[in-house]
Structures are given as C-alpha cells and as structure tokens.
C-alpha cells in the first residue's frame, strides 16, 4: 500500500472477493463429490440390484444408475434402469 493509500485509506486490492468466489466453487464441488460417493454399501447395492433385474431382463451394467441425495432431514435413493427394446427379450425362454 502506498503512502497515498495509507493516508486516505483507499485501496485497489480487493483480493478477498476473489478468495470468496474461489472458495464457494471448490467447497460446492467437494461437498458434491462427498455426497456422490455415498455410503459404503452403495456399490454392493448397485451390483445386487443389477443381478436381480438381470434374472428377468438382460440389461447392461451401464443401464443402471443409482443416485443418493440428501435433502433436509431425509435421504432419497433414486434408481434408474433403462430397459432394452423388446427384441433381445424374445431370445429368452
């Protein structure tokens, strides 16, 4: 800070605003990935659900999406399975 600044109390240095903006982005990102990783049982749950579904419908690993969300005091377990077209099914039985 120059003499002028120290006398009149002005400053062009507003680095705190930059710090805040960077923090908000990185903290939101890291909180997101903490949530995304979910509890320990999530990978196993996903695998077993897929096995059950596969008993009836041939679906691919990539066609099942498990997502856990926390909102207020409760958690939402979202399960998305994309079923294949009719054709491959006719091959069974």
Partner 1 sequence: MATVIVVTSGKGGVGKTTTSASFATGLAQRGHRTVVIDFDVGLRNLDLIMGCERRVVYDFINIINGEANLNQALIRDKRVENLCILPASQTRDKDALTKEGVERVLNDLKQSFDYIVCDSPAGIERGALMALYFADEALVVTNPEVSSVRDSDRILGILASRSRRAEQGEPPVKEHLVLARYAPERADRGDMLSVEDVLEILGIPLLGVIPESQNVLQSSNAGVPVILEDGSDAGAAYSDLVERFLGKNLPHRFITSQKKGFLKRLFGGS
Footprint of partner 1 (CB under 8 A) = 6-9, 11, 13-17, 19-20, 22-24, 26-27, 30-31, 34
Length of the chain: 93
Closest CB to partner 1 among residues 35, 67: 35
Contacts of 68 (CB under 8 A, 6+ apart): 35, 38, 39, 42, 75, 76, 77, 78
Smaller CB separation from partner 1, 52 or 76 = 76
| Cα distances (Å, whole numbers) of residue 50 to 12, 14, 33, 71, 85 | 59, 53, 23, 26, 17
In the complex, the smallest distance separating the C-beta of residue 28 from partner 1, rounded to whole angstroms, is: 9
Minimum distance, C-beta of residue 27 to partner 1, in the bound complex (Å): 5
Provide the minimum distance between the beta carbon of 60 and partner 1 in the complex, in angstroms, as a whole number. 32
């Amino acid at each position: 800070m120059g003499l002028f600044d120290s006398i009149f109390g002005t400053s062009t240095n507003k680095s705190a605003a930059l710090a805040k903006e960077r923090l908000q982005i990185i903290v939101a990102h890291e909180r997101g990935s903490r949530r995304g990783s979910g509890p320990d049982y999530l990978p196993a749950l996903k695998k077993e659900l897929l096995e059950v579904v596969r008993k009836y419908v041939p679906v691919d690993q990539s066609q099942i999406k498990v997502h856990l969300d926390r909102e207020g005091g409760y958690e939402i377990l979202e399960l998305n399975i994309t079923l294949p077209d009719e054709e491959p099914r006719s091959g069974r039985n």
